[in-house]
A = this chain, B = another copy of it.
Amino acid sequence: MYSSSFRPEALLRCEKIQSALRTSHADSILLNTNANLYYASGRVFSGYVYVPAEGEPHYFVRRPVGLKGDTVHYIHKPEQIPALLAEAGLPIPRCVALEWDASHGDFTRLAAVFPDVEVVNGSAVMRAVRSVKTNYELALMQESAVKHAEVYRRIESVFREGMTDIELQIEIERLLRLHGNLGLFRINGQSMEIFMGNVICGDNADSPTPYDFAMGGAGLSCSIPVGANGSLIRPGMTVMVDMCGNFTGYMTDMTRVYSVGELSAEAARAHACSIEIHRAVARMGRPGVAAADLYRLAVQIAQDAGLDDYFMGHTQKAGFVGHGVGIEVNEAPVLAPRSKELLVENQVIALEPKFVIPHVGAVGIEDTYVVTPEGMKAITSAPIEILPLQ
């Protein structure tokens, strides 16, 4: 299933899942979405991972052929799982956690595999487990962060006068891919669709999208109405670059702003306010602090600066200022007013206090941070000021 060097990490993740199961009602979990298969086994495959209350995970594999391991079982259909568990000497679970985020069809089929067994929400279990990263995961996120920042430092080199937002985005996509970006932008749930990220210039930042985004963008098609819309990049506008950093299966999130010509004083002031929010939230963001308090701190700073009209969007506002990130871009915790979560050491959070200034565009930066006892430490490091394009 995995290389011998990954074995200690696989066992550590298994222990984390088992520890979370002990605080839930379930005595086992059966995983079937790609993000959780990747977490639990170190690779994506077609099949299922079963983690019992005690002992090693069992891998039920449909494809690919050729995976090996003591607890790897090849199957044609999930209905074979109970007999194979019995053969392996494992009891039928009393209560199994299944993924609420899986399709209803898959969920229903898996629930029927264990008739008369209680079923609870396994997505909630995995969301909590995955929000706190292991050292192995932090190293992968660091690797993504370094490459992400490396590409951002080269954005000026691919800009040409007369470009549209989408033309610039395409060159940034190519740079990202040439630096090893895997392209795939993994998003939890089925509702949000984005392609590699967004480049937004000028008033397109104020076009509302279907999603809970501060900066929106009308997009190029009603089938994916978000992001670049073909606007010409012109003097007096900002260009906000918010592209995905999936270089390792773990994603970093990072936003920087560029300008062509002179910007309004208000845009510059709002950008400075975003940086001030970053410093204040990073200082306060320690283990045990409420995610909702960090949201309120950010809003307070924007209000004190008289910029709340533009904070986290203008025509349509986003309801958060930061979010967990890892295998997926929208993990726990969420820095939002109703969040019940307290920060935990080694959570990884993308903080994105942004402003939409009418007639100018979006300003503010986004960085990805690790929660430490000394506060949140940024891992995406690149110049934070508004950078001139040309």
> For the complex, what is the distance from the CA of A180 to the CA of B167, rounded to whole Å?
10
Q: Which residues of B contact A222 (CB under 8 A)?
A: 2, 38, 42-44, 249
> For the complex, what is the distance from the CA of A184 to the CA of B244, rounded to whole Å?
14
Question: A332 at interface (Cβ–Cβ under 8 A)?
Answer: no
A107 to chain B minimum Cβ distance, whole angstroms, is: 4
Q: Which residues of B contact A106 (CB under 8 A)?
A: 104, 190
A224 and B249 within 8 A (CB)? yes
Q: Which residues of B contact A170 (CB under 8 A)?
A: 174, 177-178
Residue in A38, A123, A315 with the greatest tally of chain B CB atoms within 10 Å: A38
Question: A56 at interface (Cβ–Cβ under 8 A)?
Answer: no
Q: Which residues of A contact B (CB under 8 A)?
A: 2, 32-34, 38, 42-46, 62-66, 98-108, 121, 123, 166-167, 170-171, 173-174, 177-178, 180, 182-184, 186, 189-191, 193, 195-196, 207-212, 216, 220-225, 246, 248-249, 315-316, 327
Interface majority SS (helix, strand, loop, mixed), chain A: loop
B44 and A220 within 8 A (CB)? no
B64 and A210 within 8 A (CB)? yes
Q: Which residues of B contact A45 (CB under 8 A)?
A: 210, 225
B249 and A221 within 8 A (CB)? yes
A349 to chain B minimum Cβ distance, whole angstroms, is: 21
> For the complex, what is the distance from the CA of A177 to the CA of B121, rounded to whole Å?
40
Q: Which residues of B contact A248 (CB under 8 A)?
A: 221, 223
Residue in A62, A98, A193, A223 with the greatest tally of chain B CB atoms within 10 Å: A223
B65 and A316 within 8 A (CB)? yes
Q: Which residues of B contact A190 (CB under 8 A)?
A: 33-34, 102-103, 106, 190
Q: Which residues of B contact A220 (CB under 8 A)?
A: 180, 182
A62 to chain B minimum Cβ distance, whole angstroms, is: 8
> For the complex, what is the distance from the CA of A171 to the CA of B63, rounded to whole Å?
30
Q: Which residues of B contact A99 (CB under 8 A)?
A: 104
> For the complex, what is the distance from the CA of A207 to the CA of B184, rounded to whole Å?
20
A243 to chain B minimum Cβ distance, whole angstroms, is: 12
Q: Which residues of B contact A167 (CB under 8 A)?
A: 178
Which 8 A-B residue pairings sit nearest by Cβ, starting from the closest? A223-B249, A64-B208, A183-B195, A104-B107, A43-B222, A100-B105, A46-B210, A170-B177
Other-chain residue from B103, B207, B208, B316 in contact with A100 (beta carbon distance below 8 A): B103
Q: Which residues of B contact A174 (CB under 8 A)?
A: 170-171, 173-174
Please list 17 pairs of residues, one from A and one from B, whose beta carbons are closer than 8 Å in the complex, sorted by A's number.
A33-B191, A43-B223, A44-B210, A44-B222, A44-B223, A44-B225, A45-B225, A63-B316, A64-B209, A64-B216, A65-B208, A101-B103, A102-B104, A105-B121, A170-B174, A184-B195, A223-B249
